[in-house]
RNA sequence: GCGUCCGUAGCUCAAUAGGAUAGAGCAACGGCCUUCUAAGCCGUAGGCUACAGGUUCGAUUCCUGUCGGGCGCGCCA
């Protein structure tokens, strides 16, 4: 629909340009947008305001000229008028508005999908929680956000690959192995206080018990003070990954690729990446200065191997190797992202926790240096989640053991509620999740509001069948649809026709929260309509038309919820 | 100190790539069920968009600065 207006304006402007209203080299850039206020029509363009300077006449006057030059025989446009500082507002004809119902009928669950991303491969990397323990709420939010961004990109035609990066090579995995070994020894009667840096959670004992079950006393001869054996470390990681997989499955989230950092080391990926940087003379031995604000006493200058990230937009150069010669996490990250780039993706999307925000510039710098492409990697930060119950904050602390896991919350509130709530804020804003509210069956719980709208439509449908009228309620004909003339009916049609635009925008901007907000709007419009109008009217044609309208609405709601990974129940 | 995200109604948050008179929900107040699910609807009230400048036809949105908050800041991941 939007493209119709767009083309209309473009052709008109081109003609005016040929007629000499503006110089022949004037670029015809303008917007066609949905006005916020519906008294401003269905679409508006700012063309006259943008081009007024080139035409050397006031915006409103230019707008008049454009309107006068529009072709008169437009079936879709009922009227257009000049308003405000020079907007041209287009009002669609009723017949044009009604076509959305037929379109939705025909497209079914494909309505809202588009092809704008066709031919482009995008990788979305998300969650990537360290496999050293259970997932918490923040991981869950990142998981849902990444999952829905992936779904949105798929719906808009992108070829999407979902990837989980497993940090199975770092120091913290050794700590996990050591923690398990300590607990394992405890199982055989040794009383060992938990050493510094070890993981205190009960789950560590669980891993130890599983290890005992599998290997018996095989590791008893290994002192817990030693570097933990690789088999123990791997065992522990696999246990944790199993839990993570289970937790994600509860949220209906799966991945195409589980990428192991360890495999990157084994394949020499890090040496490969550093060598590529060295080829460009971007690596050097140097000493970093103490950051401003840091006390000099706390700072000991050390020579390190550094990457010239400051040449690519980072504040300072960053270390690739520790003083003991081993690689930093950053070095592995460079290698990983180079590996991604070498796999030929057209775009990379990372979902990170907000505490990793400081790493965006350096990774982008490395990618720019290695690929020469500037905007290859887009990192979306997800802010933290605060857990509440009935308005009271749930205190969480790893040490005190009052740590609430993602699993506990999903099991209590359900996947639908958790997903919807996580998506109800823009990712950049921190989020309060109230267990009581998320499960409440009241109208202050948005998910019930939306699902209820969907269920209501199906309720009407069931009622229809009880009355034995189902047969006549197939697809509505155009003359029947023409019976839809109520303002509330046009409101619904307008809203529904916006759905593909919402999906497209949410996908391109990677802002999933726009979808639930849209669905709330659509549900509200439906509830208003439902309350004020009888669907199962005595008049068969009107009844058929209204049924077609609300079934279309239900379909759009269902499509939207599907994009969010949330169920659309037919009965509540 | 530097970087980064944020600051919008009493509360929680939106605001379509810079658009017109900044919108919802909750809380408050007043209405609507002999009718398809009242888990709903309608109405009233609530604002110097933290503050000060700048860019332009036009700023909640972009730039600079100030204030206030979250996160981060050489070998942890």
Q: Å between A354 CA and B4 C1'?
A: 9
Domain range A2-92, CATH architecture: 2-Layer Sandwich (3.30)
How many Cα atoms sit within 13 Å of A520 on the Cβ side? 14
Is residue A413 a contact partner of residue A439, using CB atoms and an 8 Å limit? Answer: yes
Decide if the complex's ipTM is over 0.90: yes
Q: CA at A293, C1' at B67: how many angstroms apart?
A: 21
Q: Do A111 and A103 touch, CB atoms closer than 8 A?
A: yes
Total number of residues shown for chain A: 572
The reply to whether the CB atom of residue A544 sits less than 7 A from any atom in nucleic acid chain B is no
| CA A111 to C1' B35, whole Å | 33
Mean pLDDT score of chain A: 91
Q: Where are the domains of chain A?
A: 2-92, 98-115+442-564, 171-250
Q: Is A281 exposed, middle or buried (0-12, 13-18, 19+ CB in 10 A)?
A: exposed
Specify the nucleotide whose C1' lies closest to residue A464 (CA). Answer: B36
**Which residues sit opposite A33 in a β-bridge?**
A44
Of all protein residues, which has its CA closest to the C1' atom of B13?
A: A425
- Work out the pLDDT band at A473, boundaries 50, 70, 90: low
What CATH superfamily classification does A98-115+442-564 receive?
A: Isoleucyl-tRNA Synthetase; Domain 1 (1.10.730.10)
User: Is the CB of A520 less than 7 A from some atom of nucleic acid strand B?
Assistant: yes
Q: What is the pLDDT of residues A302-314, one digit of tens each?
A: 888 999 998 988 8
Cα A12 to the center of its chain, rounded Å: 38
The pLDDT-based confidence of A395 (bands split at 50, 70, 90) is: confident
Q: What nucleotides of chain B have any atom within 7 angstroms of a protein Cβ?
A: 1-6, 12-17, 19-21, 23-27, 35-37, 39-42, 57-58, 70-77
A29 touches strand B (CB under 7 A): no
Query: With a 7 Å cutoff on the CB, does A531 touch strand B?
Result: yes
Confidence at A23, pLDDT banded by 50, 70, 90: confident
How confident is the model over A38-92, as pLDDT tens digits? 889 999 999 999 898 888 888 899 999 999 999 877 789 999 999 988 999 999 9
Given this model, what pLDDT does residue A436 score?
85
Q: Which residues contact A468 (CB under 8 A, 6 or more apart)?
A: none
Residue A297 pLDDT greater than 80, yes or no? no
Q: Is A193 helix (H, G, I), strand (E, B) or coil?
A: coil
Protein CA at A428 to nucleotide C1' at B14, angstroms: 13
Task: Quickly list DSSP for A181-231.
Answer: HHHHHHHTT---PPPTT----HHHHHHHHHHHHHHTTTTTTS-TTSPPPHH
pLDDT computed for residue A513 by the predictor:
95
Check whether A272 has a pLDDT greater than 70: yes
Q: Are A428 and A383 in contact (CB under 8 A)?
A: yes
Using the CA of A49, give the nucleotide whose C1' is nearest.
Answer: B57
Interval A213-270: pLDDT, tens: 999 999 999 998 889 999 999 999 999 999 999 999 999 999 999 999 999 999 999 9
Q: Which residues pair with A166 in a beta bridge?
A: A260
Nucleic strand B under 7 Å from the C-beta of A461: no
pLDDT at A393: 81
Of A58-72, A284-298, A519-533, the range with the lowest mean pLDDT is: A284-298
A226 contact to strand B (CB, 7 A limit): no
Distance A38 CA to B48 C1' (A): 27
Six token digits for residue A360:
């965006």
Using 50, 70 and 90 to split pLDDT, how confident is the model at A496?
very high
Q: Which nucleotide is nearest to A84 (CA to C1')?
A: B20
Q: How far is CA A161 from CA A121, A128, A151, A438, A565, in A?
A: 8, 14, 10, 31, 17
* Cα separation values, A96 from A50, A91, A134, A481, A498, Å: 28, 10, 53, 11, 14
Q: Spell out the long-range contacts of A468-472 with Cβ–Cβ below 8 A and sequence spacing 24 or more.
A: A469/A536, A469/A543, A472/A540, A472/A544
pLDDT over 90 (residue A467): no
Q: What is the side-by-side strand order in the sheet with A431-434?
A: A392-393, A385-389, A431-434
What's the whole-number mean pLDDT along residues A317-334?
90
Å separating the CA of residue A16 from the C1' of nucleotide B57? 21
Three-state DSSP class for residue A348: strand
């Amino acid at each position: 629909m939007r493209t119709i207006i767009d083309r209309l304006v473009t052709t008109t402007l081109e003609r005016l340009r040929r007629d000499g209203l503006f110089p022949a080299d004037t670029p015809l850039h303008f917007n066609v947008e949905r006005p916020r206020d519906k008294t401003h029509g269905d679409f508006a363009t700012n063309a006259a305001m943008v081009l007024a300077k080139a035409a050397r006449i006031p915006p409103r006057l230019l707008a008049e000229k454009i309107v006068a030059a529009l072709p008169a025989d437009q079936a879709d446009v009922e009227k257009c008028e000049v308003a405000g500082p020079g907007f041209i507002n287009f009002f669609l004809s009723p017949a044009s508005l009604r076509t959305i119902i037929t379109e939705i009928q025909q497209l079914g669950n494909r309505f809202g999908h588009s092809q704008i991303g066709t031919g482009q491969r995008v990788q979305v990397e998300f969650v990537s929680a360290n496999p050293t323990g259970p997932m918490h709420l923040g991981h869950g939010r990142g998981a849902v956000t990444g999952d829905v961004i992936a779904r949105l990109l798929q719906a808009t035609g992108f070829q999407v690959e979902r990837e989980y990066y497993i940090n199975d090579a770092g120091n913290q995995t050794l700590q996990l192995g050591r923690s398990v070994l300590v607990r394992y020894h405890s199982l055989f009667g040794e009383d060992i206080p938990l050493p510094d840096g070890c993981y205190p959670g009960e789950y560590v004992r669980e891993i130890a018990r599983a290890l005992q079950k599998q290997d018996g006393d095989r590791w008893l001869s290994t002192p817990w003070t030693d570097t933990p054996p690789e088999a123990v470390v791997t065992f522990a990681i696999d246990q944790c990954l199993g839990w993570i997989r289970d937790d994600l499955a509860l949220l209906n989230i799966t991945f195409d690729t589980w990428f192991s950092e360890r495999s990157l080391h084994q394949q020499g990926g890090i040496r490969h990446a550093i060598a590529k940087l060295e080829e460009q003379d971007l690596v050097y031995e140097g000493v970093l200065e103490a950051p401003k604000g840091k006390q000099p006493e706390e700072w000991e200058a050390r020579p390190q191997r550094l990457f010239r990230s400051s040449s690519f937009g980072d504040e300072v150069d960053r270390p690739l190797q520790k003083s003991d010669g081993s690689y930093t996490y950053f070095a592995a990250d460079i290698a990983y992202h180079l590996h991604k780039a070498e796999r030929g993706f057209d775009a990379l999307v990372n979902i990170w926790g907000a505490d990793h925000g400081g790493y965006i510039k350096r990774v982008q710098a490395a990618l720019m240096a290695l690929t020469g492409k500037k905007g290859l990697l887009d990192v979306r930060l997800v802010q933290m989640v605060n857990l509440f119950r009935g308005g009271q904050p749930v205190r969480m602390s790893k040490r005190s053991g009052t740590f609430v896991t993602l699993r506990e919350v999903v099991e209590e509130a359900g996947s639908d509620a958790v997903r919807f709530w996580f998506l109800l804020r823009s990712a950049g804003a921190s989020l309060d999740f109230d267990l009581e509210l998320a499960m409440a069956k009241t109208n202050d719980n948005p998910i019930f509001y939306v699902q209820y709208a969907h269920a209501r439509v199906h309720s009407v449908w069931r009622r229809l069948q009880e009355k034995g009228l189902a047969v006549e309620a197939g697809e509505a004909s155009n003359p029947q649809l023409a019976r839809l003339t109520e303002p509330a009916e046009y409101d619904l049609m307008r809203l529904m026709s916006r759905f593909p635009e919402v999906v497209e925008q949410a996908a391109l901007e990677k802002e999933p929260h726009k979808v639930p907000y849209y669905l709330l709007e659509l549900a509200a419009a439906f509830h208003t309509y439902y309350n004020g109008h009888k669907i199962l009217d005595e008049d068969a044609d009107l009844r058929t038309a209204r049924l077609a309208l609300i079934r279309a609405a239900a379909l759009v709601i269902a499509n939207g919820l599907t994009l969010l990974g949330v169920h659309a129940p037919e009965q509540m």
